[in-house]
Amino acid sequence: MGTKLKYTPNSHITSALRTVWMRSRERREALRNTGNTCSNCRVRHSKAKNSECRVMEVHHLRGHVNWGRIIRVIREELLCDPVELAPLCPDCHAMLDHRRHGPIMPPNFRLKPSTF
């Protein structure tokens, strides 16, 4: 077996985002608005999951989704370096996250290397 990567692969991020998109309310509403009918050829497709018809796709009118940009933002904001993360209990996390002027570290707050 190969060694495990130290970071989440881009393929995992893309797969998770695709799942969110496929289950999104926005996508579902776009399909509902057209009655599952192709906006171009006007052919109506079945909503049945086991149907022989292909699943309707939804096209972004503003152009293709820039997956690279989205993945970069996720890496910068969410999947950052573990040294920039601090495990906290729910109460401490809520206290630090929900300050009006951004997170404020209390004077006695210390990150211990053993917590990583």
**pLDDT tens digits for 35-87?**
989 999 988 887 666 555 567 889 989 888 888 999 999 999 899 888 888 88
What range does the domain containing 98 cover? 10-115
Q: How many whole angstroms separate alpha carbon 71 and alpha carbon 11?
A: 10
The token pair at 65 is 């989704």
- The domain tally of the chain equals 1
Q: Is 17 a member of any domain?
A: yes
Structure confidence at residue 116 (pLDDT): 38
Structure confidence at residue 48 (pLDDT): 61
**Do 36 and 45 form a contact (C-beta atoms < 8 A)?**
yes
Q: 34 vs 38, 39, 41, 74, CA distance in Å?
A: 7, 7, 12, 32
DSSP class of residue 61?
T
**Do 47 and 37 form a contact (C-beta atoms < 8 A)?**
no
CA 16: distance to chain centroid?
6
Q: Is 32 a member of any domain?
A: yes
Q: Is 100 a member of any domain?
A: yes
Q: Is 4 a member of any domain?
A: no
DSSP 3-state of 44: strand
Q: Is the pTM of this model over 0.95?
A: no
Q: Is 1 a member of any domain?
A: no
Q: Is 5 a member of any domain?
A: no
